[in-house]
């Protein structure tokens, strides 16, 4: 090169934020992204009644219909991309495309609708993608022990479970660090 400076290639990595309808995925991506997140939201309409389980989230007015996208620059040459999955069953067909190239996933859980998390756990287990469980501590919601949640979700002892507040940047960052560490640990061959 004639310019005298070296061109550094920017590397990127990807983490998926998943979970059931209304678990806080859009909020999570928005809280931690350094850019205005790309959101593919539509208004919740009467057609959603009986389909999306709005009982636990009566104030919810929008829903993700494709994905959420955010970015965090970790270093001059390293970027982390965040992809939030849609939570409704009718949009799950997109999940395989959204996880392509991901190093891991965070499954956000709302304990009011724990059963909405089962499909995400099964999905990531079936694809052998490292994941952690992040309990989104909504205001006024009952708290449960990690062991009770582990048993209810039927996840192994090796899967990290932590509590977060998806509205708080530092809380979301701790989940991103946890899934990155777990992914590295899972992908690194055991030394014997």
Mean pLDDT of the chain: 82
Residue 192: pLDDT band (50, 70, 90) is very low
Q: What whole-number percentage of the chain has pLDDT above 70? A: 74
| pLDDT of the residue at 97 | 84
Query: Average pLDDT in the 128-155 region?
Result: 95
Q: What is the pLDDT of residues 130-141, one digit of tens each?
A: 999 999 998 999
| pLDDT of the residue at 67 | 65
| pLDDT of the residue at 68 | 85
Query: Torsion angle, CA of 78/85/96/152, rounded to 10 degrees?
Result: 110
Residue 55: pLDDT band (50, 70, 90) is low
| pLDDT of the residue at 153 | 96
11-187 domain in CATH 3.40.50.720? no
Domains in the chain: boundaries? 11-187
Region of poorest pLDDT, from 18-32, 49-63, 76-90, 108-122: 49-63
More confidently predicted of 122 and 40: 122
The string of DSSP codes covering the chain is -TTSSPPPPPEEEEEEEEESTTSSHHHHHHHH-SSPPEEEEEE--GGGTTTS-GGG-TT--EEEEEEEEEEEEEETTEEEEEEEPP-SGGGGGGHHHHHTT-SEEEEEE-GGGGGGGHHHHHHHHHTT--EEEEEE--TT-----HHHHHHHHT--TTS-EEEE-TT-HHHHHHHHHHHHHHHHHHHSPPP-
Query: Average pLDDT in the 28-51 region?
Result: 67
More confidently predicted of 121 and 192: 121
Q: What is the pLDDT of residues 56-105, one digit of tens each?
A: 555 545 555 456 888 899 888 889 999 998 766 656 667 788 889 999 99
**CB-CB neighbours of 96 under 10 Å:** 10
**CB-CB neighbours of 18 under 10 Å:** 27
């Amino acid at each position: 090169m004639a310019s005298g400076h070296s061109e550094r290639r920017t590397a990127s990595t990807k983490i998926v934020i998943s979970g059931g309808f209304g678990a806080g995925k859009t909020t999570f991506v928005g809280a931690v992204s350094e850019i205005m997140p790309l959101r593919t939201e539509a208004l919740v309409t009467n057609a959603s009644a009986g389909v999306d389980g709005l009982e636990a989230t009566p104030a919810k007015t929008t829903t993700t219909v494709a994905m959420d996208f955010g970015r965090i620059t970790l270093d001059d040459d390293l970027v982390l991309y965040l992809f939030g999955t849609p939570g409704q069953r009718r949009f799950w067909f997109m999940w395989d495309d959204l996880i392509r190239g991901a190093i891991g996933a965070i499954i956000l859980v709302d304990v009011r609708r724990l059963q909405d998390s089962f499909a995400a756990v099964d999905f990531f287990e079936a694809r052998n993608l490292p994941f952690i469980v992040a309990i989104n501590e909504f205001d006024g919601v009952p708290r449960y022990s990690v062991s009770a949640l582990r048993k209810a979700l039927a996840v192994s002892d090796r899967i990290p479970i932590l509590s977060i507040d998806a509205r708080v940047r530092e809380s979301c960052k701790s989940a991103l660090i946890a899934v990155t560490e777990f992914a590295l640990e899972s992908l690194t061959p055991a030394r014997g």
